Amino acid sequence: MNSPSAWVCDKCSDDVTVEKGLVAARRDSHGLLQDWRIVHNGDCAPAENAGYTFSVELERMVGQDGLSHLLSFLSAGPLQVQDPASPSPSEEIGNFDAYVDIFRRLQTPFYEKARRRFEDPEVQEQFYEANSARTYEVANLESIAKGLH
């Protein structure tokens, strides 16, 4: 299964390609990463003075290496020596649901297109009692994205 290759810019709503995109997040007053965004690199990039001090090229966050990069926010892994006094990487994530959303947007086929329909009453009714794993299976996301039921 191929990785996603186009996204919607969270600032201008135009399509973003992997070559022209940026993943950004801001740090809140506690230093936690919040408000994850996919934007065009350049005019749509959030301002550092608004707290958006984290940004990385979109191409580094997709595919297998991107998966590794995204997982590094959750755990340093067994090969990294961690100072016991330092917080674990996951303690830097301010809103775990928002992080999982950006993770899915970057890695899960059809998620980006399907998420535009998550508020549709018929989609909500269809998945009302589904477990969280089933809801985000690729076949279900493809069905939602294509408007099939």
The pLDDT tens digits of the residues spanning 16-59 come to 999 999 999 998 888 889 999 999 999 899 888 787 888 999 99
Query: Does residue 78 belong to any structural domain of this protein?
Result: yes
Q: Are residues 69 and 31 in the same domain?
A: yes
Q: Are residues 114 and 100 in the same domain?
A: no
Q: Are residues 102 and 44 in the same domain?
A: yes
Q: Are residues 15 and 53 in the same domain?
A: yes
Look at residue 86 in the predicted model and tell me its pLDDT. 67
The pLDDT tens digits of the residues spanning 80-137 come to 666 666 666 777 898 999 999 999 999 999 999 999 999 999 998 988 888 888 889 9
141 neighbors 76 (Cβ within 8 angstroms):
no
Q: Are residues 102 and 113 in the same domain?
A: no
Domain interval for residue 130 = 109-149
Where are the alpha helices (H) located in the chain, listed in sequence order?
Answer: 63-71, 96-107, 111-114, 121-126, 132-135, 138-146
Query: Does residue 90 belong to any structural domain of this protein?
Result: yes
Look at residue 82 in the predicted model and tell me its pLDDT. 67
Query: Does residue 31 belong to any structural domain of this protein?
Result: yes
Considering its fold, how many domains does the chain have in total? Answer: 2
Pairing of strands 21-27, 33-40: antiparallel
Q: Are residues 87 and 126 in the same domain?
A: no
Taking the alpha carbons at both ends of the chain, their separation in whole angstroms is: 22
Q: Are residues 12 and 47 in the same domain?
A: yes
Q: Are residues 97 and 123 in the same domain?
A: no
- Burial string for 12-22 (b: 16+ CB within 10 Å, else e) reads eeeebebebbb
95 neighbors 16 (Cβ within 8 angstroms):
no
Q: Strand runs (DSSP E) across 13-130, as ranges?
A: 15-17, 21-27, 33-40, 54-57
Q: Are residues 113 and 102 in the same domain?
A: no
The pLDDT tens digits of the residues spanning 53-91 come to 889 999 999 999 999 999 988 887 777 666 666 666 777
List strands edge to edge, sheet with 33-40. 33-40, 21-27, 54-57
31 neighbors 90 (Cβ within 8 angstroms):
no
Look at residue 1 in the predicted model and tell me its pLDDT. 55
pTM of the full predicted structure? 0.87
Look at residue 148 in the predicted model and tell me its pLDDT. 62
Q: Are residues 58 and 118 in the same domain?
A: no
Query: Does residue 1 belong to any structural domain of this protein?
Result: no
Q: Are residues 26 and 44 in the same domain?
A: yes
Q: Are residues 103 and 125 in the same domain?
A: no
